[in-house]
Structures are given as C-alpha cells and as structure tokens.
Amino acid sequence: MTQNRPWIPYALILPSVVFLCLLFVVPLVQTIWLAISENGVPSLANMRTMAGDLNFGRSLINTFLLTLAVVPIQIIMALTMGSMVSKMGGGRETILWIWTIPLGISDLAAGMVWLSILQNTGYLNSILFGMGIIERQTAWLTYQTPVALFIGIAIAEIWRGTAIVMIIIVAGLNQVPKEFKEAAEIFGASQWTRFTRITLPLIRPALQSALILRTVLAFEVFAVVYTLGGRNFPVLVGEAYNWQNQNQNYGVAAAYAVLIMVISLAATLVYLKAIKVDPERLP
Amino acid sequence: MANIVIDNIKKSFGAFQALKGVSLTINDGEFVSLLGPSGCGKTTLLRIIAGLETATSGDIRIGERSVIGLPPKDRGLAMVFQNYAVFPHMTVFENVAFGLRMQKADEARVKKQVEKAAGLLHIEPYLDRYPNKLSGGQRQRVAVARALAVEPGVLLMDEPLSNLDALLRLEMRTELKTVLQEAGTTTIYVTHDQTEAMGLSDRIAVVHDGRIEQVGTPVEVYNHPATRFVGSFIGNPPMNFITMPVNNGQVAVGAQTFAVPAKGSEIVLGLRGETVERTSTGQGLDIQVRVAEPMGPHLLLTGSILGQPARVILPATEAVKNGEIVGLKLDASRLTWLSPESGVSYPVAA
C-alpha cells in the first residue's frame, strides 16, 4: 500500500512532529531567546545577573556535588541489584516489583516521605531517642547541619531514582546470554573477572543509557531538595524556580534553564564519547 | 590427557529425574558421543561433567581424581558451546587467548598457543577481527580454537555443529575429526545427530530418558542395537521391527530358517533396511511395496512385511513398481533379535 502512496508514513508521524514542535521546540527557542535578550534586543544581562547572584555559585556546586554523589552510587547499586536478581529462580518478578515501587511515587511525595523520617519529630529521631542514642530532638535538615542535610537529600534521591537505573541495567543484563558467563567460567575467570571482563563490556549500551538518563535527571533535581532543605540547599532548578515565581524575573529563570540544558547536553556528550558503543562488538 | 569415569550420576530437577543413574568410562584420548533425542539428559550430563551443574548424587573422576565439588576451572577441561559463546567484544585473538590469559600465561606462550590453535583451525587471517564480522562456521572454529589453545585434558562439546547449515556441518565434521585426532584430546561430544555421532566417535553412548541404553563403537551400535530405542533412533531409515512367530526355537522365513534364543512363542526381528538382497517371492521375507522411491544412490521401498510397516533399501539398479511384492533374502549375521516384551535385544552370539 505504501508503495503507491509514499506519503503515508510521513502523514502518520506528522501529528507527533507537530506536537513536539509546538510543545518542545517553540518553547525551547523562546526560552533561549528569553535568556539571551533584554527588551527584545540580544543581551547578556540575564546571564550576568544569574552569575552575579549570591546563590549561583552555591547552587551550581550543590547540584554537581549531588550528581557526583548520587549517580555513581545508583549505578553501583543497580548493578548489584541486577546481578542479584539474575541469580534468583523463583520470586524474581516480585523482588523487581518491590524494588521499582519508588518509581511510582512523585518527586514531591518522595520528598515528603523522607521529610517525615528526617524532620525533628520524624521517625529517625524517634528511633534514635528510643534506643537512647540521642537525648533530645536533633535537627538534621538545617543550614547549620549542611553535611547531614546533604546526606539526607542524597539518600532520598538514591531511594527515589535507583529503580529506573536498575530497570535499564536489568534489561541490559537480560541481553547477555548465560553461555558467555559459563564459557568464561570454564576457562577460569573468577566471578569478579567475569563481571568486569564479560558482563560490563557487554552491557555498555544499557550502562550508557542509564548514565545519561540518570545524570540528566540529577541535574534537574528539585522537588526532593525543596521539600527537605528548602533554600538551605540551593540547586540550579530551585534557583530557576525562585527567579520565576518569587522574583518574577523570567529572563534570569530562562538563563538558569538554558544553563541546565547546556550542562545536561555536555554530560551526554561526555558519556557518548567515554562509553563507546560499537554494535559490531555486542552479542 | 585424562580418562573420565562417570559413576552412577543422578540428577533431579524438582520431581523430574533428568538422569537416573548414569555410568560410563571414557578412555584417555578417546572420542565418545552422547547421542540422544532432545530432553534425554545428555546436555545435563555434559554440564555436570563441566561443573556448570551439580549432580544430585554420584561421582565423576577425571584422571583418577574426583572432581565433584570442584569449580569448572579446576577440572582441567575446556568446552565448546552450541551457540559458540565467542565473546563479541574481543578480537578473535583475544578470544582464543582467553583461557591462557586467565591462567596468567606469559605473552610468549599466549602468542605461541594462539598461533598453534589458529593454525589448526585455519583462522589465522581473522585474528584481528571481531567475531560479529565472521560467519557461523568461522565463529565455531574460533570456539574450538579457544578450547584447544589451553591444551585441555578433556574437551567437552555441546552440539557444536547444530547451528551450521548442512553443507558446512559436513565440512566442519570432517575437519573436527582431523583436528581432534591430531590433538589427541579426550573428547565428550553431545549431539542429537546420529550421522555426526557415527562419523566422529570412537564410541557412542546412546542416551534415552535419563539412562544410557547402549555404549559401543558406531558399527556395533548400528548393527546390533541393544534396545528397540537404539535401533529406531540410529539409522536412516530406522531399523525395522517385525514381530514373528517362533517354533521350537526357530523362525522360518520362506526358505530360510534361523535359530533364535527366544523362550516364548514370538520374537521381534530387528532388520536394517539395507542388509537385504532381492530374491524371488516366497524364498525369503516378502515385502508388499506401497511406495518405491529412487533416491539416487539406492532404491527405498516403503511397505509392509507380515502386515507390519517396514522400509528396506535395494540397489539403485533394481526396478520395483508401487504395489509389487518383492522377496527379500536375509543375512543371518546382520540380524538383531529382540524380546517382544522388554524391547531388549538378545546377545549377538545366538
């Protein structure tokens, strides 16, 4: 049918293209323009305001620190979890299902869950008090306890975001035929060698996707941080939100948005370069 | 080099008994095939020998040393897998070198062994390439070279040719035989293909339903199957089984009579289709031909003998029409007599 009417495939993808143009490309162009103009003339004023802001340096550092802390731990955890379920016979699906529960919870709700644990009257303090480890309520989430606050946010983020990494990794692990590992075992590779020399290289595509996705999401972290730390722990998206809503300065908010996009793109490029995926060398 | 003793190996998967007490001794340098239909337990047995699966009970000794409980790498063996399992992210050289690298062999030895194995399997031109660039046959050569490079005492092969097309399979079969004869490695070869087993093996162990039905040279197993299953599984066309009346320990077939060891009133004749000669009707066993098929090298007759389905083979020069009755002269030395109750054959001497 399509042989006589070659336009049919194009007609079929047209709605999605229009949709993406209207709701993605147009706002993107507008945002970039908003960021690099003032009163309709090209200008770097918004960028200068952003860079000169008191919270800019801190939010940039915080965002990077959080990403650097959270993403590697999530990848290692996901690899461990994926390897563990791959050795299971029965109950595998149930375990996977339980592990992916955090995926079904919104960022904000996840933040609330951890707030109920970590706030002054939260579960953590109750337990510590009950066990006699602390004598009175201890604050974990204030500007006076930056390390505790950072750890709390990181744990909440890890809890919330590891499942998606794990799903991608498990899918990748399922692609590796077990004969590869068995052959390696026969020829004398230890369990660790099998993992590093056989499994890891063969799940490169999954690893790459997981890293890109998780890193981009980590640079966009907001709701969990906002719930637990408020402005005590400024991050880039949080600053964009403040400039947009509190300061009503859309130009500076747009500048932040563009900065986040540039960082995400750069990270993606780094991953694409660093973890080369050669289809010739995959199963 | 090593001999292998498989001593009463049993394996259960839950309620299912995959191996029901298998014993087999394989001599040093011998090539033994485990032949059987899919699901008979032959691959499970191979994986138990390899150490990839644990036996429920029983013992395996390689070179007089029990290997039960030892990890695969300490058993002194190498394996070739059905789907090759050649690592796609390593060059052919690194694939062949893998076992040596794991043994931490020095670079000179790695190079020497890889070149030797690659030479045997004729894969020298591809050493720098990645396996996905190679054909199935070439990949299988890489898998065999990888196994031979470590100079294993025992080589295990799990249906190594079944993923190749027919022509390539024949070619690889011949080549494997040459290569393994040269290497002199004790080999256990799992296959469901009887021609592979017949062509390659010093001895064949026919596995059926978790048991070894017969162990013998290809000629023994073919000519004198121990059971009805072996006779019907090996040979194309399969062996004919014709139930015949016994009178005073003798079976009369036209002008021929055969002394048989049967005690009852009936016995089953196991008749290989190509062991007959044409004779005039009434002189031997008569076959009522339903279809005569000229196959090229021979003429295949399908029909019935004493009302029981049968297939026999005559020389291509014979002319037989559909529906014709043809007399067949039997060769006493090439007949197998089986018990009608148990399906087990009587000893050859009878």
- Summarised one tens digit per residue, pLDDT across range B198-214 is 999 999 999 999 999 99
Average confidence (pLDDT) over A23-28: 92
Residues 6+ apart with CB under 8 A from B234: B35, B194, B198, B204, B206, B221, B222, B225
The pairing of strands B77-80 and B154-158 is parallel
Average confidence (pLDDT) over A2-8: 81
Taking CB atoms and an 8 Å limit, are A281 and B132 in contact across chains? yes
- Within 8 A of B71 by CB-CB distance, chain A residues are 185
Q: What are phi and psi of B327, to 5 degrees?
A: -85, 140
Average confidence (pLDDT) over B267-271: 94
What pairs with residue B60 in β-bridges?
Answer: B6
Name the pLDDT band for B162 (thresholds 50, 70, 90). Answer: confident
* Cβ A170 vs Cβ A96: under 8 Å: yes
Q: Which residue of B has its CA nearest to A280?
A: B132
CA distance B338 to chain A (A): 42
CA distance A272 to chain B (A): 18
B262–A contact, CB cutoff 8 A: no
Which sign, positive or negative, has the C-alpha torsion B282, B288, B291, B296? negative
Sequential DSSP letters for B157-212: EESTTTTS-HHHHHHHHHHHHHHHHHHT-EEEEEES-HHHHHHH-SEEEEEETTEE
Q: Please name the helix (run of DSSP H) or strand (run of DSSP E) that holds residue A128, with its range, or none.
A: helix A123-130
CA distance B24 to chain A (A): 22
Separation CA A74–CA A53 (nearest Å): 32
Instruction: At A187, list the tokens.
Output: 């020829």
A178: nearest Cα among B180, B40, B114, B47: B47
Counting residues of chain B whose pLDDT is more than 70, the rounded percentage is: 99
The beta strand positions in chain A, using DSSP E, are 37-38, 41-42
Counting residues of chain B whose pLDDT is more than 90, the rounded percentage is: 77
Separation CA A129–CA B7 (nearest Å): 63
CA distance B100 to chain A (A): 8
Taking CB atoms and an 8 Å limit, are A187 and B73 in contact across chains? yes
Name the pLDDT band for A2 (thresholds 50, 70, 90). Answer: low
Name the pLDDT band for A91 (thresholds 50, 70, 90). Answer: confident
For residue range B199-254, what is the model confidence (pLDDT) as tens digits?
999 999 999 999 999 999 999 999 999 999 999 999 989 999 999 999 888 898 88
What pairs with residue B22 in β-bridges?
Answer: B9
Tell me which long-range contacts A4-13 makes (C-beta under 8 A, separation of at least 24).
Answer: none
Separation CA A134–CA A138 (nearest Å): 8
B103–A contact, CB cutoff 8 A: yes
Instruction: At B145, list the tokens.
Output: 């070279």
Determine the pLDDT at residue B181. 85
Determine the pLDDT at residue A29. 93
For residue range A177-212, what is the model confidence (pLDDT) as tens digits?
889 999 999 999 999 999 999 999 999 999 999 999
Checking if the pLDDT of A76 tops 50, the result is yes
For residue range A236-268, what is the model confidence (pLDDT) as tens digits?
999 999 999 988 999 999 999 999 999 999 999
B82: nearest Cα among B37, B34, B139: B139
Checking if the pLDDT of B1 tops 80, the result is no
Which sign, positive or negative, has the C-alpha torsion B166, B167, B168, B171? positive
Average confidence (pLDDT) over A33-43: 89
- Within 8 A of A277 by CB-CB distance, chain B residues are none
Determine the pLDDT at residue A139. 84
CA distance A5 to chain B (A): 37
Determine the pLDDT at residue B349. 56
Taking CB atoms and an 8 Å limit, are B50 and A186 in contact across chains? yes
What chain A holds in terms of domains, given with CATH numbers, is 21-281 (1.10.3720.10)
Taking CB atoms and an 8 Å limit, are B52 and A186 in contact across chains? yes
For residue range A265-279, what is the model confidence (pLDDT) as tens digits?
999 999 999 888 887
ipTM, two decimals, is 0.84
Taking CB atoms and an 8 Å limit, are A186 and B73 in contact across chains? yes
Determine the pLDDT at residue A1. 52
Average confidence (pLDDT) over B64-82: 92
Average confidence (pLDDT) over A29-36: 92
A211: nearest Cα among A155, A256, A269, A154: A269
| Mean pLDDT, all residues of chain B | 92
Instruction: At B183, list the tokens.
Output: 């290497």
Question: How many Cα atoms occupy the beta-carbon half-sphere of A243 within 13 Å?
Answer: 26
* Cβ B234 vs Cβ B198: under 8 Å: yes
Checking if the pLDDT of B183 tops 90, the result is no
Interface test with A, best of B13, B74, B89, B96 (most A CBs within 10 A): B89
Q: How many CB pairs under 8 A join A and B?
A: 62
What chain B holds in terms of domains, given with CATH numbers, is 4-227 (3.40.50.300), 237-338 (2.40.50.140)
Instruction: At B141, list the tokens.
Output: 């050569």
Q: Which of residues 175-204 of A touch B (CB under 8 A)?
A: 177, 179-180, 182-189, 193, 198, 201-202
Residue B290 CB-density burial (10 A; 0-12 exposed, 13-18 middle, 19+ buried):
middle
| Mean pLDDT, all residues of chain A | 90
- Within 8 A of B103 by CB-CB distance, chain A residues are 188
The count of residues in chain B is: 350
For residue range B3-28, what is the model confidence (pLDDT) as tens digits?
999 999 999 998 999 999 999 999 99
Taking CB atoms and an 8 Å limit, are B87 and A185 in contact across chains? no
- Within 8 A of B78 by CB-CB distance, chain A residues are 186-187
Q: What are phi and psi of B126, to 5 degrees?
A: -105, 5
A93–B contact, CB cutoff 8 A: no
- B178 residue type, one letter: T
Q: Which residue of B has its CA nearest to A277?
A: B89
Counting residues of chain A whose pLDDT is more than 90, the rounded percentage is: 62
B81–A contact, CB cutoff 8 A: yes
Query: DSSP label at A142?
Result: S
For residue range B32-65, what is the model confidence (pLDDT) as tens digits?
999 999 989 999 999 999 999 999 999 999 998 9
B85–A contact, CB cutoff 8 A: yes
Instruction: At A192, list the tokens.
Output: 């660790």
Separation CA B143–CA A155 (nearest Å): 46
Instruction: At B10, list the tokens.
Output: 């049993």
Give B87 or B184, the one with higher predicted confidence: B87
The count of residues in chain A is: 283
B72–A contact, CB cutoff 8 A: yes
Average confidence (pLDDT) over A45-57: 91
B247–A contact, CB cutoff 8 A: no
* Cβ B330 vs Cβ B253: under 8 Å: yes
Counting residues of chain A whose pLDDT is more than 70, the rounded percentage is: 99
CB-CB: which of B88, B102, B130 is closest to A189? B102
Separation CA B58–CA B17 (nearest Å): 14
Checking if the pLDDT of B350 tops 50, the result is no
CA distance A175 to chain B (A): 13
